[in-house]
């Protein structure tokens, strides 16, 4: 990739002469056809459509959800009664919520760590211009295009205690006891769900890392080689720091998505066994679908939103992520 | 660092192994789509290749054939769905329409907005940017109820347009982020040079800068397409008769048995359009994902 | 549930269709019929000469069961139905046999009336979610609801009383509909709330005992009749057959799923307990309730480990693949076990459900709960008050629930019918032998319906409690996540939670 070239506009070329001759600005005042803020000079017309869409379909529903959270639902009449503290109080007392928060963070952090390191490792592995590597890189993107709901079902079948290829494979290799199917045992169910996520999203990290690696300038590495640095020294002292900005951004994007995970849990374990894989969004879903308690489900979703905002703000400040 | 011959070979082996592991589930899935049910659920062990391959699963989902005709011949399906409920051709078409529509709308809005965000400095620019990005933080479940009611009053429920709108909404943050960084790649001097030549903003945008970020547009389009193609929750609730692919697949779970054969067949097919799209724009995709951060 | 047979019927239907549309010749049609195992008498074959000669003007679905609607009903369908030509009605349902069959033969309805019917077939949870959404906003996106019996309390305000409507609108009433023909226990338990009609009974999966004749004979075990016998038999079989990968029994014990709640409530009833007592308090934690739960825990120990991740379709898989020998569960499974490609064809037998030492009488239970021996999971089909096409939907509803169509659904699918006339129909009786689409279990099922049908409580919170709170806590107990295997702790925690919720809703 070509390094950034800055055409020089230094003092010499910007003298009054050239400007005066070249600028076609006329002396007669122009009659404005439109008010200032509607011209293409002003950001307004550029941003208006997108702002309108987001206000209508993003902000309004959010406000509605917030408003809803101040009502208590009466299951018999199905009416909502104004009661601002009911849902919020219930939320803090509900141990399933705290469990869900714990699971969500555990899931997010574990997945991030694994996907990041695996992604980087695989990117390093595949970053070669030799024949066939292009194909390997293309194949690596395949998991990304499978709908998560389908991925969930795929892994559900493969991890099935009696008929799944992964489960029976592990059992026959003696690596896993047959009495504890992965998805049916509290301690390992989350791992099973994580497996689906890791399979699907490591390629995303691989892509990003590959792009980053390919954009690295060669000179520092050549200099290091001349100075006698080993491969791992070059990696830790040069590659990583240069990639850090990209890593931070990737972590942010992926982390936010992980926090909102829904499809895999719903399809594979439905928050089970017990509540071992219950995340915030799957609990919100349960309350929504099974108990039809919309105000409470809204409240749980809002807490999720709040946690995401807080956590990502902290992250952005800490790692100085810029965009 | 030059690799030794041994290192090269080791690397090759490792690379193939790793990619192979990632491809295994897809391979297994495709294999399953050709198996009769008795081979999918054999209590005595996993069936690898020891079965009579059958095209029933594809015929039913892809060609809308009556499973009865085929079942008589192969004698190996079970389940109670009538033939029509598994025919997935319309589903694929609908999913394609919605994904393409959402991608187009997203690109349109993002390309325009990001230009302004990249080029124009105004008060609150960073705050505005943060606001757009924060839209991605929202869990879809939070907005189902209000959106359903809104759509109902706007007669958008169960329409493709409705899904296009929500998919766009969810894609916009990432699209804006990406496009802005592509625009940032293009030096402002290009704009200024064109301005000196008397072009208006609009002309600069349309004639000069936009063509330079073509690659970025392609990369963004791919991500939008993938997302829309795979979206599940909102599609489930905002439609009744229109089924997108992920939703359709979950309906193959019946009260007396999941139709794994059909699920496998449809799932395998679901991968194809997205993959083709990716192959077409692969170069730009990899380039584009630097997100501009390396320039800092 | 018949699988292979259903495919065969569809094949017949499709061939008949093709023949009627002149896509295949009469010779080809007869050849296909022969292939499908259908013989034609000379008279029948003669009739084929003129496809328009049959009643209803087409052969759809009638080739093998050549009775159409009786003339007066067919005429009614055409005359009254066609007034609403062009209407489009929609309904969302679980993928149970009657719905699927209806979906298949709905052309017979659309052809004479011009009313289009769209059936949305989705997993059960989605049905509940979408129906809830619909009534919440009175959206009218569905004209008909498919309602599981555990939800009928919740939806009762949103449904039209069909009997009253029938009387109110005689011009739309189907002649000879015969409301009394519906099995009384079914009506009371799945189509009425507090004595008021709210829908028409539509399907009735119900618990009964099923066993592998050959395995029991091999180990010289008598067919169990009590809960203790069942546990002992299951233990014995699992012990003996461990090496072959066969277990005594298999359970649908998936955490957080309604199927677990069904298994559990049956266990409780069978031990003389109930879910709610007459004071409307949760009573799963009383002596009988705990005894039932303990029994279930013991059963789990001798079941395939996958049981805690299986719902009814997982359990069916265990039976179908030969993994288990004894099961007390949904009768719907039965025809599928006899499918032609089934490994266990002809090996399963139906039997009456296990008897309890002493059942708790309904007067001691709360919220109209009926403890008994056979847990039912029936559903009804209801007309939505918010429907924009009420009359057209009503016509369809009557057609779908009339004698002929319901009998036909049973014939094609082999599952228990709602009407007494269907049980007695000679065509149904004729299929009571081993083979796909068998109806040989229906006699047992009818007995259970008439004598031992158990019903869950009917109250507004029940849909949520039975699909969320109860199976989630049970799941925590059974998978060892909490409570350390102590059933009392688990039930006490549930009691606390449920009583608080019931009180808060003002139902106490």
Q: Does B135 touch chain C (CB under 8 A)?
A: no
pLDDT for residue C290? 94
| CA–CA dist B82, B22 (Å, integer) | 35
* pLDDT band, very low/low/confident/very high, at A32 (cuts 50, 70, 90): low
The minimal CB distance from C333 to the residues B43, B253, B256 is found for B256
C324-330 and C247-249 beta bridge pairing: parallel
pLDDT for residue C65? 44
CB contact under 8 A, A305 and B139: yes
Q: By the 8 A CB rule, do B152 and C135 touch?
A: no
DSSP C379: E
Distance in Å, alpha carbon of B11 to nearest chain C alpha carbon = 40
pLDDT for residue B284? 63
pLDDT at residue C175 greater than cutoff 70: yes
| CA–CA dist C199, A216 (Å, integer) | 69
CB contact under 8 A, B69 and C14: yes
Query: Does residue B245 or residue A62 have the better pLDDT?
Result: A62
Which runs of E-coded beta strand occur in A169-297?
none
Kindly report which listed range (B258-267, C80-89, C444-453) carries the lowest average pLDDT score: B258-267
Region of A72 (left: φ > 0; alpha: ψ -120 to 50; beta: rest) is: beta
CB contact under 8 A, B44 and C320: no
Distance in Å, alpha carbon of B267 to nearest chain A alpha carbon = 6
Which two tokens mark B113? Answer: 């907005």
Q: By the 8 A CB rule, do C154 and C100 touch?
A: no
What mean pLDDT is predicted for residues A72-81? 81
Contacting residues of C for B143, CB less than 8 Å apart? none
What mean pLDDT is predicted for residues B212-224? 81
What mean pLDDT is predicted for residues B38-50? 60
pLDDT for residue B77? 34
Cα distances from B264 to residues A162, B267, B269, C108, in angstroms, run 18, 5, 9, 33
CB contact under 8 A, A22 and B196: yes
| CA–CA dist C217, C223 (Å, integer) | 9
Encode pLDDT of C346-395 as tens digits. 899 999 999 988 899 999 998 989 999 999 988 999 999 998 888 889 98
Strand order, beta sheet including C324-330: C247-249, C324-330, C207-212, C348-351
What mean pLDDT is predicted for residues C309-323? 85
In a mutational test of the B interface, the residue from C1, C3, C7 whose CB has the highest number of chain B CBs within 10 Å is C7
| CA–CA dist C439, B191 (Å, integer) | 80
Question: Which is nearest to C29 in space by CA: C48, C52, C56, C46?
Answer: C48
Kindly report which listed range (A86-95, A187-196, A266-275, B22-31) carries the lowest average pLDDT score: A266-275
Kindly report which listed range (A39-53, B243-257, C88-102, C383-397) carries the lowest average pLDDT score: B243-257
Q: By the 8 A CB rule, do C360 and C283 touch?
A: no
Kindly report which listed range (A77-81, A103-107, B288-292) carries the lowest average pLDDT score: B288-292
Query: Does residue C212 or residue C128 have the better pLDDT?
Result: C212
pLDDT for residue B17? 92
Question: Which is nearest to B132 in space by CA: B174, B91, B194?
Answer: B174
pLDDT at residue A14 greater than cutoff 70: no
Q: Does A80 touch chain B (CB under 8 A)?
A: no
Encode pLDDT of C55-113 as tens digits. 322 223 333 344 577 888 888 888 888 888 888 888 888 877 777 778 777 888 888 88
pLDDT, averaged across chain C: 82
| Torsion sign across C-alpha atoms A290, A292, A293, A295 | positive
pLDDT at residue C41 greater than cutoff 60: no
CB contact under 8 A, C120 and B254: no
* pLDDT band, very low/low/confident/very high, at A20 (cuts 50, 70, 90): very low
CB contact under 8 A, B294 and A260: no
pLDDT for residue C110? 86
The minimal CB distance from C133 to the residues B148, B251, B254 is found for B148
DSSP C256-284: TSHHHHHHHHHHHHHTT--SBBTTS-B-T
| CA–CA dist B207, B193 (Å, integer) | 13
pLDDT for residue B109? 92
Query: Does residue C129 or residue C190 have the better pLDDT?
Result: C190
Give percent above pLDDT 70 in chain A: 87
pLDDT for residue C498? 94
Size of interface A-B (CB pairs under 8 A): 264
Q: Does A298 touch chain B (CB under 8 A)?
A: yes
The minimal CB distance from B246 to the residues A47, A54, A149 is found for A149
CB contact under 8 A, C135 and A78: yes
CB contact under 8 A, C318 and A162: yes
pLDDT for residue C40? 46
pLDDT for residue C23? 60
Q: By the 8 A CB rule, do C456 and C191 touch?
A: no
Which two tokens mark B252? Answer: 């193959």
Residue with tokens 């990619």: B19
Question: Which is nearest to A41 in space by CA: B121, B189, B208?
Answer: B121
Q: By the 8 A CB rule, do A81 and A74 touch?
A: yes
Q: Does B20 touch chain A (CB under 8 A)?
A: no
pLDDT at residue B294 greater than cutoff 50: no
pLDDT for residue B52? 57
Query: Does residue B163 or residue A27 have the better pLDDT?
Result: B163
Encode pLDDT of B54-91 as tens digits. 666 676 666 554 444 444 333 333 333 333 456 677 88
Q: By the 8 A CB rule, do C384 and C162 touch?
A: no
Encode pLDDT of B163-181 as tens digits. 999 999 888 988 898 888 7
**Terminal CA-to-CA distance of chain A, rounded, Å?**
21
* pLDDT band, very low/low/confident/very high, at C193 (cuts 50, 70, 90): confident
CB contact under 8 A, C10 and B83: yes
**Backbone dihedral angles phi then psi of residue C341, each to the nearest 5 degrees:** -95, 15
* pLDDT band, very low/low/confident/very high, at A73 (cuts 50, 70, 90): confident
Contacting residues of A for C476, CB less than 8 Å apart? 273-275
CB contact under 8 A, A275 and C305: no
CB contact under 8 A, B26 and A143: yes
pLDDT at residue C210 greater than cutoff 90: yes
Question: Which is nearest to C501 in space by CA: C299, C282, C346?
Answer: C282
Collect all residues with Cβ–Cβ distance below 8 Å to C306 and sequence separation of at least 6: A160, A161, A162, A181, A184, C314, C318
* pLDDT band, very low/low/confident/very high, at C134 (cuts 50, 70, 90): confident
* pLDDT band, very low/low/confident/very high, at C21 (cuts 50, 70, 90): low
Q: By the 8 A CB rule, do C350 and C444 touch?
A: yes
Nearest Cα residue in chain B from C332: B256
Query: Does residue C18 or residue A251 have the better pLDDT?
Result: A251
CB contact under 8 A, C479 and A178: no
Distance in Å, alpha carbon of C386 to nearest chain A alpha carbon = 16
pLDDT at residue A202 greater than cutoff 70: yes
What mean pLDDT is predicted for residues C35-39? 52
- Chains that contact A by 3+ CB pairs under 8 Å? B, C
Nearest Cα residue in chain C from B73: C35
DSSP B92: H
Q: Does B159 touch chain C (CB under 8 A)?
A: no
Collect all residues with Cβ–Cβ distance below 8 Å to B276 and sequence separation of at least 6: none
| CA–CA dist C23, C26 (Å, integer) | 10
Kindly report which listed range (A36-40, B260-264, C431-435, C496-500) carries the lowest average pLDDT score: A36-40
What mean pLDDT is predicted for residues C406-412? 80
What mean pLDDT is predicted for residues C402-415? 80
C348-351 and C379-383 beta bridge pairing: unpaired
Distance in Å, alpha carbon of C73 to nearest chain A alpha carbon = 40
| CA–CA dist B179, C287 (Å, integer) | 67
C192-193 and C196-197 beta bridge pairing: antiparallel
């Amino acid at each position: 990739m070509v390094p950034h070239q800055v055409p020089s506009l230094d003092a010499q070329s910007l003298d009054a002469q050239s400007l005066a001759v070249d600028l076609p600005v006329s002396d007669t005042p122009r009659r404005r056809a439109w008010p200032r803020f509607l011209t293409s000079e002003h950001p307004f017309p550029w941003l208006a459509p997108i702002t309108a869409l987001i206000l209508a379909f993003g902000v309004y529903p959010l406000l509605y959800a917030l408003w809803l959270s101040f009502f208590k639902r009466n299951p018999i009449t199905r009416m909502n009664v104004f009661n601002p503290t009911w849902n919020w109080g219930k939320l803090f007392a509900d141990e399933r919520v705290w469990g869900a928060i714990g699971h969500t963070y555990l899931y997010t952090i574990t997945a991030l760590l694994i996907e990041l390191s695996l992604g980087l490792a695989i990117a390093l592995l595949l970053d070669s211009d030799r024949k066939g590597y292009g194909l390997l890189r293309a194949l690596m993107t395949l998991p990304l295009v499978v709908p998560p709901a389908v991925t969930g079902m795929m892994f559900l079948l493969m991890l099935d205690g009696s008929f799944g290829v992964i489960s029976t494979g592990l059992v026959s290799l003696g690596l896993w006891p047959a009495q504890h199917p992965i998805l049916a045992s509290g301690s390992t169910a989350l791992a099973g769900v994580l497996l689906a996520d890791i399979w699907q999203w490591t390629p995303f990290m691989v892509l990003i890392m590959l792009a980053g690696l390919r954009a690295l300038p060669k000179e520092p590495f050549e200099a290091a080689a001349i100075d006698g640095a080993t491969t791992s020294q070059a990696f830790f002292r040069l590659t990583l720091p240069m990639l850090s900005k990209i890593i931070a951004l990737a972590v942010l994007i992926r982390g936010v998505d992980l926090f909102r995970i829904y499809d895999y849990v719903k399809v594979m374990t439905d928050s089970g066994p017990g509540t071992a894989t219950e995340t915030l969004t799957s609990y919100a879903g349960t309350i929504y679908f099974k108990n039809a308690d919309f105000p409470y489900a809204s409240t749980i979703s809002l807490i999720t939103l709040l946690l995401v905002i807080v956590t990502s703000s902290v992250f952005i400040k800490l790692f100085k992520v810029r965009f | 660092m030059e690799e030794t011959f041994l290192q090269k070979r080791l690397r090759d082996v490792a690379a193939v192994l790793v990619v192979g592991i990632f491809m295994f589930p897809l391979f297994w899935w495709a294999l399953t789509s050709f198996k009769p049910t008795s081979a999918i659920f054999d209590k005595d062990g996993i069936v690898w290749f020891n079965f009579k391959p059958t095209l029933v699963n594809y015929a039913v989902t892809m060609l809308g054939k009556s499973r009865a005709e085929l079942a008589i011949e192969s004698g190996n399906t079970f389940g109670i769905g009538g033939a029509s409920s598994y025919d997935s051709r319309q589903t694929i078409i609908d999913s394609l329409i919605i994904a393409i529509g959402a991608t187009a709308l997203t690109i349109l809005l993002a390309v325009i907005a990001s230009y302004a965000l990249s080029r124009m400095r105004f008060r609150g620019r960073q705050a505005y940017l943060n606001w757009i990005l924060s839209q991605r933080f929202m869990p879809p479940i939070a907005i189902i109820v209000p959106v359903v009611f809104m759509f109902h009053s706007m007669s958008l429920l169960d329409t493709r347009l409705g899904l296009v709108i929500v998919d766009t909404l969810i894609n916009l943050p990432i699209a804006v982020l990406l496009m802005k960084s592509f625009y940032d790649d293009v030096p402002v001097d290009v704009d200024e040079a064109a301005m000196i030549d008397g072009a208006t903003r609009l002309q600069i945008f349309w004639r000069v800068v936009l063509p330079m970020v073509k690659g970025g547009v392609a990369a963004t389009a791919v991500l939008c397409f993938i997302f829309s193609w795979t979206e599940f929750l909102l599609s489930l609730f905002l439609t009744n008769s229109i089924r997108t692919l992920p939703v359709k697949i979950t309906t193959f779970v019946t009260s007396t048995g999941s139709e794994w054969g059909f699920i496998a067949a449809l799932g395998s097919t679901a991968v194809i359009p997205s993959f083709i799209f990716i192959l077409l724009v692969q170069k730009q995709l990899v380039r584009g994902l630097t997100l501009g951060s390396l320039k800092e | 549930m018949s699988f292979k047979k259903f495919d065969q019927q569809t094949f017949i239907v499709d061939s008949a269709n093709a023949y009627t549309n002149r896509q295949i010749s009469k010779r080809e049609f007869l050849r296909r019929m022969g292939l499908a195992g259908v013989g034609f008498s000379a008279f029948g074959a003669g009739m084929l000469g003129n496809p328009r000669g049959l009643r209803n003007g087409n052969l759809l679905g009638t080739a093998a069961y050549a009775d159409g609607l009786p003339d007066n009903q067919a005429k009614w369908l055409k005359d009254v139905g066609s007034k609403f030509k062009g209407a489009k009605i929609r309904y969302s349902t679980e993928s149970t046999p009657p719905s699927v069959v209806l979906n298949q033969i709905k052309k017979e309805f659309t052809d004479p009336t011009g009313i289009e019917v769209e059936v949305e077939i989705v997993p059960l949870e989605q049905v509940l979610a979408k129906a809830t959404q619909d009534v919440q906003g009175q959206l009218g996106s569905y004209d008909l609801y498919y309602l599981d019996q555990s939800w009928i309390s919740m939806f009762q305000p949103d449904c039209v009383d069909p009997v009253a409507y029938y009387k109110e609108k005689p011009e739309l009433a189907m002649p000879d509909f015969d409301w009394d023909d519906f099995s009384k226990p079914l009506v009371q338990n799945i189509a009425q709330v507090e004595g008021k009609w709210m829908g028409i009974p539509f399907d009735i999966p119900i618990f009964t005992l099923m066993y592998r004749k050959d395995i029991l004979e091999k180990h010289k075990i008598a067919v169990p009749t009590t809960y203790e016998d069942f546990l002992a038999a299951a233990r014995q079989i699992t012990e003996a057959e461990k090496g072959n990968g066969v277990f005594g029994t298999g359970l649908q014990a998936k955490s957080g799923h309604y199927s677990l709640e069904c298994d559990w409530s049956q266990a409780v009833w069978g031990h003389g307990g109930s879910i709610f007592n007459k004071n409307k308090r949760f009573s799963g934690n009383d002596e009988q309730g705990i005894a039932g739960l303990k029994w279930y825990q013991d059963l789990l120990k001798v079941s395939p480990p996958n049981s805690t991740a299986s719902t009814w379709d997982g359990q069916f898989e265990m039976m179908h693949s030969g993994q288990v020998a004894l099961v007390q569960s949904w009768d719907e499974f039965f025809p599928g076990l006899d499918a032609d490609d089934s490994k266990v064809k002809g090996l399963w037998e139906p039997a009456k459900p296990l008897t309890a030492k002493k059942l708790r009488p309904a007067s001691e239970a709360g919220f109209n709960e009926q403890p008994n021996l056979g847990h039912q999971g029936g559903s009804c089909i209801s007309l939505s008050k918010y429907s924009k096409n009420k009359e057209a939907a009503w016509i369809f509803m009557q057609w779908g629930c009339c004698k002929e169509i319901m009998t036909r659904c049973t014939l094609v699918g082999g599952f228990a019918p709602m009407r007494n006339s269907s049980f007695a129909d000679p065509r149904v009786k004729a299929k009571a032998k081993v083979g796909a689409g068998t109806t040989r279990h229906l006699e047992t099922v009818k007995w259970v319906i008439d004598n031992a049908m158990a019903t869950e409580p009917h109250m507004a919170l029940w849909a949520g409690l039975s699909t969320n709170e109860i199976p989630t806590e049970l799941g925590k107990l059974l998978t060892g996540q909490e409570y350390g295997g102590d059933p009392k702790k688990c039930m006490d925690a549930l009691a606390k939670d449920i009583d608080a919720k019931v009180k808060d809703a003002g139902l106490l």
